[in-house]
């Protein structure tokens, strides 16, 4: 079986926020001193220097598959804000400053707010979820994320009855994100989910991977993970969350509407003009494997789409 059964979380199992906060600070001052001593940005790129997240509890829905190596997960990234090559993000993402960080929540909510990252994280228990990630380009990984359900975050802002969709935005700052100097996409990067997709227990806000704080190239300090959709739906380095009555337009849909639909559910039966989606290469493997409907999460999410023609709503 690919899916493990859910396990309960108890209060003592969570990473207490204050510890997280302290370590974040400690790490940064340590880095600053070391950085000054060495005289370069060498250390900020050293993944091993990233904060260890304590007492992360194994979460539900984890895939029982061999995990992709930390090295591969953090060196092979599509994050066009740092350049279009897969190796660009690891090379340039150290320019991104993730502390302080704030997230603005607006739109159809009772409690709009601008929160610091710490405000966002404080009430949530961090859990590890090992998810498959399927890129629209035909490769896939298995990633041990650390995070918490997006639903728990959304509830805090009390969306109104008009909130039918959630839209997310990535930071737009050419100094920190050199890839934005060229208009490869219509910056800032935007993504969206239907409300029921956003509230689904599989949908995760990730702040770490492999038990450590997220490396910048993987979308630090917080990103979305929607494992049954193609990777580009899982927006990185989020600064804005907007609740809307109308369906938002994702950046890739805007760039090529016939290629990238709003839903972008992993679907081996809907081919893309560039890539047949029937098979995928798991990073680290030689032979390709069959791509599974909803990336293998059909049992959990197929009911979200009953009665919908998934060839039309691709």
Partner 1 sequence: MRNEWLKPAVFLLCLSPLMVLGWQLYAGLLGANPIDEVADSTGAWTLRFLLITLLATPLRRYFGWGWAIRMRRMLGLYAFFYATLHLLTYLWLDQFFDWGEIWLDVLDRPFITVGMLAFVLLLPLAATSNRYMVRRLGRGWKRLHRLAYVIPALGVLHFWWLVKADVLEPLVYGVLLAALLASRIQAGRRRRAGSAVREGCIS
- Judging by DSSP bridges, how do beta strands 102-107 and 238-244 pair with one another? parallel
Cα–Cα distance measured from residue 313 to residue 305, given in angstroms and rounded to the nearest whole number: 10
Q: Is 64 exposed, middle or buried (0-12, 13-18, 19+ CB in 10 A)?
A: exposed
> Position of tokens 């660009």?
88
Q: What does the block give as tokens for 77?
A: 């990234």
Q: H helices within 76-199, ranges in order?
A: 88-92, 117-121, 150-157, 195-198
How near is the Cβ of 102 to partner 1 at its closest, in Å?
A: 28
Task: Kindly state the smallest distance separating residue 120's Cβ from partner 1, in Å.
Answer: 30
Taking the complex as a whole, the smallest distance from the CB of residue 312 to partner 1 amounts, in Å, to 18
User: Per CB under 8 A, does 72 bind partner 1?
Assistant: yes
d(CA 136, CA 130): 19
Touching partner 1, residues 118-147 (CB under 8 A): 137, 139
Span from 16-24, 58-66, 99-107, 277-285 in contact with partner 1 (CB under 8 A)? 277-285
Total binding residues for partner 1 by CB under 8 A?
27
Question: How do the residues of the chain divide into helix, strand and coil, expressed in percent and rounded to 5?
Answer: 30, 25, 45
238 vs 190: CA distance, rounded Å:
9
Residue 293 interacting with partner 1 (CB under 8 A): no
Residue with tokens 């008009």: 162
Contact between 273 and partner 1 per CB under 8 A = yes
- CA pair distance 221, 28, nearest whole angstrom: 14
From 104, 281, 298, 302, residue interacting with partner 1 (rule: CB under 8 A): 281
Instruction: Select the residue interacting with partner 1 from 1, 36, 37, 287 (CB under 8 A).
Output: 287
When binding is defined by CB under 8 A, the residue of 80, 210, 243, 294 that contacts partner 1 is 80
22 binds partner 1 (CB under 8 A): no
Shortest Cβ 26–partner 1 spacing (Å): 31
In this chain, which of 17, 70, 76, 172 binds partner 1, going by CB under 8 A? 76
Question: What are the structure tokens assigned to 109, written together?
Answer: 């909510």
Range 162-221, binding partner 1 (CB under 8 A): 182, 184-185
Residue selected from 247, 269, 271, 303 as contacting partner 1 according to rule CB under 8 A: 271
Asked if 36 touches partner 1 (CB under 8 A), the answer is no
104 near partner 1, rule: CB under 8 A: no
If you search the block for the tokens 């790490």, which residue do you land on?
27
- SS3 of residue 4 by DSSP: coil
Shortest distance in whole angstroms from residue 66 CB to partner 1:
14
Q: Are strands 212-213 and 204-209 parallel, antiparallel or unpaired?
A: antiparallel
Report the interface residues with partner 1, using CB under 8 A.
71-72, 75-76, 80, 84, 86-87, 137, 139, 182, 184-185, 255-256, 271, 273-276, 278, 281, 283-284, 286-288
């Amino acid at each position: 079986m690919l899916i493990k059964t859910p396990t309960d979380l108890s209060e003592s199992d969570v990473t207490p926020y204050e510890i997280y906060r302290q370590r974040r600070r400690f790490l940064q001052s340590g880095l600053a001193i070391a950085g000054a001593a060495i005289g370069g940005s060498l250390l900020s790129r050293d993944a091993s220097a990233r904060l260890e997240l304590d007492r992360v509890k194994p979460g539900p829905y984890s895939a029982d598959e061999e995990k992709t190596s930390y090295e591969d997960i953090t060196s092979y990234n599509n994050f066009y804000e740092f350049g279009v090559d897969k190796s660009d993000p690891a090379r340039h993402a150290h320019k991104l400053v993730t502390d302080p960080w704030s997230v603005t929540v607006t739109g159809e909510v009772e409690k709009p707010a601008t929160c610091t990252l710490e405000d966002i994280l404080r009430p949530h228990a961090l859990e590890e979820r090992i998810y498959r990630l399927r890129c629209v380009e035909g490769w896939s990984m298995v990633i041990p994320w650390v995070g918490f359900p997006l639903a728990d975050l959304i509830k805090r802002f009390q969306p109104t009855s008009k909130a039918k969709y959630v839209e997310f935005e990535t930071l737009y700052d050419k100094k920190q994100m050199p890839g934005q100097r060229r208009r490869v996409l219509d910056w800032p990067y935007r993504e969206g989910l239907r409300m029921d997709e956003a509230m689904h227990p599989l949908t995760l806000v990730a702040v770490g991977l492999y038990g450590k704080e997220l490396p910048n190239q993987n979308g630090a300090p917080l990103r979305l993970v929607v494992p049954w959709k193609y990777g580009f739906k899982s927006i990185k380095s989020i600064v804005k969350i907007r609740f809307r009555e109308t369906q938002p337009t994702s950046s890739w849909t805007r760039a090529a509407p016939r290629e990238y639909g709003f839903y972008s559910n992993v679907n081996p039966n809907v081919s893309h003009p560039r890539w047949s989606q029937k098979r995928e290469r798991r990073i680290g493997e030689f032979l390709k494997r069959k791509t599974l409907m909803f990336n293998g999460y059909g049992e959990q999410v197929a009911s979200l789409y009953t009665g919908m023609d998934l060839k039309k709503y691709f």
